[in-house]
Amino acid sequence: MFSELAKAIAALSGNAVFSGPLDARVLFKAGLNEVLSQPELADFDVRRHFGDVLDSFEDNVDAFAPLLDAESPAVFIGNENPIVNARSFSMIVSKCRTAGDEEGIVVIFGPKRMNYKKNIEVLDTLLHLLS
């Protein structure tokens, strides 16, 4: 369920997506190819830093999980990002609940110039369909 959700959101948003049970230490990842083709990640150092953030993402879920509201996605842009080493990027984070009543998390992660309105609409629509 979470794997398919991550793939669908990544395909529609063009960004990296993490998804999985809220208490999991391993999240499904999707959209890496899409986000790595974005112009902001053409620079080798920026791409490497982005990769470092992706590799350690699950270790940082505790930095933002308490900030989440079950009613609406949280948007963290640049320096607002609670993951200190990810402040060059942005993320949209939402709690979700599967049809089996499992609580989860979905994160859209990418460049600061991402289309926030579109990505929030994609996230809201797919999460509504999920529940």
Q: What tens digit of pLDDT does each residue of 109-120 get?
A: 999 999 999 999
Rounded Cα–Cα distance for residues 42 and 124 (Å): 30
List, in order of start, the domains of the chain with CATH numbers: 2-130 (3.30.450.40)
% of the chain beyond a pLDDT of 70: 98
pLDDT for 3 beyond 70: yes
Mean pLDDT, rounded, for 68-86: 87
Is the distance from CB of 96 to CB of 105 less than 8 angstroms? Answer: yes
Distance CA 29, CA 7 (A): 8
Task: Identify which of 86, 93, 131 has the alpha carbon closest to the alpha carbon of residue 112.
Answer: 86
Q: What is the mean pLDDT of residues 21-26?
A: 80
What letter would DSSP give residue 70? Answer: T
Contact call for residues 52 and 73 (beta carbons, < 8 A): no
Mean confidence (pLDDT) of the chain: 89
